[in-house]
Structure 1
Amino acid sequence: MNLKSLKGQHHVSAITANAKKNYEFYTQTLGLRLVKKTINQDNTSMYHLFYADERGNPGTELTFFEIPNAGTTYEGNNSISLTTLRVKNDESLQYWEKRLEEFGVTHEGISYHTGRATLRFRDFEGQRLALLSDENNKGVKGGKPWDNSPVPVEHGIVGLGPVTLTVPRGESTAKILTSVLGFEETRTFPSTIEGQPDVQVFETGEGGTGGEIHLEERDDLPAEKPGRGSVHHVAFRVEDGNELKKWVDWINENRLPNSGSVERYYFRSLYFREPNGILFELATDGPGFEADESFETLGERLALPPFFEAQREEIEAGLKPLDIGKRSEK
């Protein structure tokens, strides 16, 4: 199978119980741009909010499904246990440490145990996040922060960094990453938990912070019970629809149950679960979020793919209003 390497992270999708507070935190505190306010295409009663750089470039997107009755997350294995967000350099982490304190956000201080300067924190629902310095990154390039963000552009978030998978059986997940998805194991670093194996680092594409997965094996945890503040899935970048078709064939050849190619309008997707139950998505780089909105007005209205437009009145009636309004001025 003549497959091109996956290009790195495409997006991470998580769960929130409160779209309004979620919007306020990720735009006002973290300074990301809401580039698309749409629906969960598999359940149109849910918002699907996309936060990203100035125009939602692949590799910069952190998305949320709103599930108002989502319960508490009980953290554990078989999970995406940490999402990192890249900033320009170590100096920016100093800025962010002060900013998080000013906004009353609990954090763990700057550490270096992954080999890079990192600042772990949580959002208002306990979402596990970290800011990561790109100072020595030589791999996948980041995006461009929005000029109208409340965070100065020089300190803005430029994209997704490594995603941590926490599993009870690391070998089976590692096999999928390497033998099926084409990642390469490049290094390890010590676990922060005494008595647990080193965390394995896998890279794809140009590698670096935008092309890494961290695999943490834990034998001391129950399976995670997801809820608000948990991650639903991670998506990896595929160049285009033709390449995605090849990946569908390859995943089928490897006898992994999967969704086949799914039309999401802003990109096409393929979904499957690895042996520890974590949901993976492969998603195309395009067409992108300007398919139905201008760059200037991204995220300001409820955007529906054309195949949902006939249901707009019914869909809007089932959603709690989330008034974003015009945001083109600071």
Structure 2
Amino acid sequence: MDLKPLLGQHHVSAITANAKENYRFYTKVLGLRLVKKSINQDDPSVYHLFYADERGNPGTDLTFFEIPRAGQTYLGTNSISLTSLRVASDASLDYWKNRLEEYQVDHDEIQTKYGRKTLAFRDFEGQRLELVSDQLNEGVAGGKPWDKSPVPVEHGITGLGPVKLTVPNLELTANVLVEAMGYRQKASFLEGEHNVSIFETGEGGTGAEVIVEERADLQRERPGRGSVHHVAFRVESEEELRKWINHLKKLRLPNSGFVERYYFRSLYFRDPNGILFELATDGPGFEGDESFEHLGENLSLPPYFEDQRAEIEAKLKPLDTKE
């Protein structure tokens, strides 16, 4: 491909039914920084919350759309079934096991998966999460935890790790990842009776892997609160993003074309198993409308929504993010 490789994960966007409790959990328990309190630009009546490292560096964002009436998630295929979060070391997982127990968070035991130590857990809505140790990581660098977090910096979450997709037909997703997106297959094996493949891009490592699990025995997932909406992958610039748009057109892969998100520029498309992928630029970032010291404290609206601010704020339930 006449394209630079994708750089790894950019962000993962999920669904919550309760922005207030979501904010409490991800900042007070997980210690992430809310770097932007904004709106879903496709539905300005709901919040879009961005949690990340100290300044929302690309590859560190876990974001949520608040949909107050979101129903229960019925787990299954055609889904982004696990989001992992990076920590510095195996010792950090011991810290986190104790912390999750202290806050009565549902979790599994520490185990070794795909050559790394991991600790799986669920948030208050059943969002499927996993902490993954970077002790042996030699790929994409992580971010920098916020020094005002309740979690000590040495154990803080440094970004997104591997994202897991569960699909009824692994080959269909593999073809898109390899042929259309330039990933390379790193491993392929049976996990129980099910085929699993691991793909990586760019520098590889924890922050640039996609795990695909084939489960033809499951029903299609019915998303709701605690499910993932889409995963985004990093493109270094707008110029490069426009090359990707042309590339997907040549492949006749249906896509959104260029989408302005203000904090980054995007392109959306679905793989043949129906999973929503986004390509997003590394910049401009989150400090264009707020200073580093005050990120996430007020409702931020892209300039093209400012003339609707009064109407938008009237529809949103107040959410105090200055405490």
Kindly indicate whether the alpha-carbon contact (under 8 Å) linking 1:17 and 1:70 is maintained by their aligned counterparts in 2.
yes
The number of residues matched between the two structures is 323
1:245 Cα deviation from its structure 2 partner? 0.3
User: Counterparts of 1:290 and 1:187 in 2: how far apart (Å)?
Assistant: 39
Alignment pair present for 1:68 and 2:65: no
What one-letter code is carried by the residue in structure 2 that aligns with 1:72? Q
Alignment pair present for 1:195 and 2:193: yes
User: Which residues of 2 match residues 1-330 of structure 1 at below 5 A?
Assistant: 1-188=1-188, 190-191=190-191, 194-197=192-195, 199-325=196-322
Give the gaps of 5 or more residues in structure 2: none
User: Counterparts of 2:308 and 2:202 in 1: how far apart (Å)?
Assistant: 40
Q: Which of structure 1's runs of 4+ aligned residues deviate more than 3 A?
A: none
Give the gaps of 5 or more residues in structure 1: none
Change (3 A) 1:190 1:95: farther
User: Counterparts of 2:179 and 2:194 in 1: how far apart (Å)?
Assistant: 25
What one-letter code is carried by the residue in structure 2 that aligns with 1:33? R
1:324 Cα deviation from its structure 2 partner? 1.2
What one-letter code is carried by the residue in structure 2 that aligns with 1:83? T
TM-score normalised per structure 2: 0.99
1:114 Cα deviation from its structure 2 partner? 2.1
User: Counterparts of 2:15 and 2:119 in 1: how far apart (Å)?
Assistant: 22
1:115 Cα deviation from its structure 2 partner? 1.4
Q: Name the SS for the 1:107 alignment partner.
A: coil
Instruction: Render the CA deviation track for 1:130-180: whole Å, top value 9, x for unaligned.
Output: 000000000000000000000000000000000000000000100000000
Q: Name the SS for the 2:280 alignment partner.
A: strand
**RMSD of Structure 2 on Structure 1 (CA):** 0.8
1:189 Cα deviation from its structure 2 partner? 5.0
What one-letter code is carried by the residue in structure 1 that aligns with 2:198? V
User: Counterparts of 1:10 and 1:63 in 2: how far apart (Å)?
Assistant: 11
Identify which range, 181-190 or 259-268, moves more after superposition: 181-190
User: Counterparts of 1:204 and 1:114 in 2: how far apart (Å)?
Assistant: 17
Instruction: Render the CA deviation track for 1:30-86: whole Å, top value 9, x for unaligned.
Output: 000000000000000010000000000000000000000000000000000000000
1:226 Cα deviation from its structure 2 partner? 0.2
User: Counterparts of 1:196 and 1:137 in 2: how far apart (Å)?
Assistant: 26
Kindly indicate whether the alpha-carbon contact (under 8 Å) linking 1:113 and 1:190 is maintained by their aligned counterparts in 2.
no
User: Counterparts of 2:104 and 2:214 in 1: how far apart (Å)?
Assistant: 32
User: Counterparts of 2:179 and 2:217 in 1: how far apart (Å)?
Assistant: 27
User: Counterparts of 2:315 and 2:199 in 1: how far apart (Å)?
Assistant: 42
What one-letter code is carried by the residue in structure 2 that aligns with 1:49? L
User: Counterparts of 1:51 and 1:60 in 2: how far apart (Å)?
Assistant: 8
What one-letter code is carried by the residue in structure 2 that aligns with 1:274? D
User: Counterparts of 1:27 and 1:222 in 2: how far apart (Å)?
Assistant: 34
Q: Name the SS for the 2:59 alignment partner.
A: coil
What one-letter code is carried by the residue in structure 1 that aligns with 2:284? P
Instruction: Render the CA deviation track for 1:223-258: whole Å, top value 9, x for unaligned.
Output: 000000000000000011000000000011111111
What one-letter code is carried by the residue in structure 2 that aligns with 1:289? F
Kindly indicate whether the alpha-carbon contact (under 8 Å) linking 1:114 and 1:189 is maintained by their aligned counterparts in 2.
no
User: Counterparts of 1:188 and 1:82 in 2: how far apart (Å)?
Assistant: 18
User: Counterparts of 1:2 and 1:196 in 2: how far apart (Å)?
Assistant: 35
User: Counterparts of 2:142 and 2:113 in 1: how far apart (Å)?
Assistant: 22
1:195 Cα deviation from its structure 2 partner? 1.7
